[in-house]
Chain A
């Protein structure tokens, strides 16, 4: 199925902080325990109060080029064509490099389990397959979170900025951050005032690693050539010395401990 990539648009000006999204997420993903005040292994989205009656959702951003997917040595995390970044515990090593790599500190770990898993929002991937929106978007009473094709939502966000410039800070967070994410935010104030990380790069972070890993073949080829040549020279030197006569053989200068034992 190659459906258009899905996304969420979170309009902070519309959020009333009711927490229905967190609750719906719990139900849809069968997560135990009540909603916790921050992201945990069993709370995949939270609504955080940021003063002045402003509420900000925290959840996996489902980056277009996710760091977590790129750093996972075995590919336990994958980016689906229709948007979600999903996790397969059956091949996960539990190395937690995804947690280090994630620019938004989203993946969580089951620290008190003998068979721990990485846990995070999966953009309701099973629901998407059935053609349903995410549970959080469906539950939102004010349409602060809406679900749709990413292209459509980008257009919607831009239209809102154009229609009500006085109401919004002129930026769609997630449009270019880390090369673009599948969760877009609109805010009434500059994003750093709401504790968004505005220092993140505007290109996909996996590029930073990939351009280094691209040197691997060069290192191998040049290194093999250099080491091979050095070895050949050293053997040749010994050969020549041996041919020229026993009293000039150089390989007798193994250290003073050479003849012990």
Chain B
């Protein structure tokens, strides 16, 4: 028994356990003595890394769930069904982590339910609160399929299946709304946010970029799930997502530059200094490098290229959100904010919790490569209990690098 327990202690798990234990202490201190006791937030910097990273970037990176659901259920791109469950699972985990982060971030979390009864339709945050509540419910329902399937509750599964298409459409609408409205949050501070990031149409920037980020994240998850769970990445599908991502990034970049030009802010991107440096670093990582990698590997994309391009885009995307929420404001009104180690530990712990949740779900539920198991086609039998342990399988018979 003891030996069995010890065998579970891989270095990564020990590290994760230490991280989470530290986070537990920090959370206790935060609730006992207030936000100021563990963060560098102040009256001059009311929003920091927890908003910029955990919330803004986190929600954007979870966009893969609605993108893949729309692709398969609404647009009928059946080919991509094998990626669907993993995308919905990671989106669900993302939103649950976001809500967890939010409870730590807001000062009076016991009032969080007030959004349901006290309405201010003029507030972008009010719209986001409702969309996130409803969309998390949609994600739970979408993902619950997997649970009913695992439990063998065929009747519940059948009922759910009947409403799945409308449910997915509602999910896409809710996502479109709140992904863009996260940008609307910052439209009210034209003179507090640096003009390289401020735009009266920030919601459009946020929506287009979340599409790319969602796809990038699905590709990157392919890598993580390969590295940590031993599932070979779907090299017959993922490179196509990376190509679509590159296309969206090009549209995004053209749009972004055009927007700057129209507002007369483009010269700022070429003025020496920190703002221009941050702007180009962000766009280099988010747009230029990923697009170049995709272009150079147009005929055959290696796993390495796929993960380089997706990781690069993910980092660049996080930078964009962080620049809007924190850095871009600091450039106008420097307050010397830098996150405390406690803020970083909490952010890393949320990612750690995500890994644990994803690992557990993939181990105990039919998530990965459940492509053919959709009951709509009368092929429910594709999955049978008990689940075989996740096993490596030959990389896509169709040929991994098949040009498509």
Contacts and interface: CB of A to CB of B under 8 A. Distances in A.
A48 B114 CA distance: 38
Contacts of A2: none
B82 A258 contact: yes
A200 interface: yes
Residue in B80, B108, B109, B173 whose Cβ sees the most chain A Cβ within 10 Å? B108
Interface in B202-261: 203, 234, 236-237
A250 to B, nearest CB: 8
A94 B382 CA distance: 49
A71 B200 CA distance: 16
A207 to B, nearest CB: 9
Contact of B74 (A114, A206, A231, A253): A231
Contact of B122 (A40, A89, A90, A209): A209
Contacts, number: 230
Contacts of B125: 71-73, 95, 97
25 contacts: A71-B123, A74-B119, A91-B118, A97-B125, A100-B185, A100-B189, A103-B192, A108-B43, A110-B34, A112-B37, A116-B35, A116-B107, A206-B188, A208-B187, A209-B187, A212-B124, A213-B184, A216-B177, A224-B173, A227-B70, A227-B172, A231-B75, A259-B382, A261-B366, A261-B369
Given A212-B184, A212-B187, A260 B81 contact: no
Q: For the complex of A and B, list the 7 residue pairs with the smallest distance between their C-beta atoms, beginning with the closest.
A: A94-B107, A111-B36, A234-B76, A258-B372, A94-B108, A99-B46, A74-B118
Interface stretch (B263-271, B342-350, B390-398): B390-398
A260 B31 CA distance: 48
Interface residues of B, number: 85
Contacts of A123: none
Given A208-B187, A261-B373, A213 B106 contact: no
A227 B74 contact: yes
B107 A234 contact: no
Contacts of B377: 251
Contact of A40 (B43, B70, B121, B126): B43
Interface string A187-231: 000000000010111000110111011001001100110011011
Contacts of A51: none
Contacts of A230: 74-75
Contact of A213 (B37, B127, B387): B127
Interface size class of A (residues with CB under 8 A): 35 or more
Contacts of B318: none
A212 B37 CA distance: 37
B137 interface: no
A105 B46 CA distance: 10
B19 interface: no
Interface in A74-118: 74-76, 89-97, 99-101, 103, 105, 108-116
Given A92-B108, A231-B165, A237-B76, A209 B43 contact: no
Contact of A97 (B185, B200, B201, B387): B185
B360 interface: no
A135 interface: no
Given A101-B188, A112-B37, A258-B382, A93 B46 contact: no
A70 B124 CA distance: 9
B388 interface: yes
Given A212-B187, A257-B371, A74 B115 contact: yes
Interface in B26-82: 31-37, 41-44, 46-47, 70, 73-76, 78-82
B279 interface: no
A109 B35 CA distance: 10
A256 interface: yes
Given A99-B46, A100-B189, A261-B387, 13 more contacts: A71-B122, A73-B126, A92-B107, A94-B111, A105-B43, A109-B35, A112-B34, A212-B184, A212-B201, A213-B121, A223-B176, A238-B76, A261-B388
A220 B189 contact: no
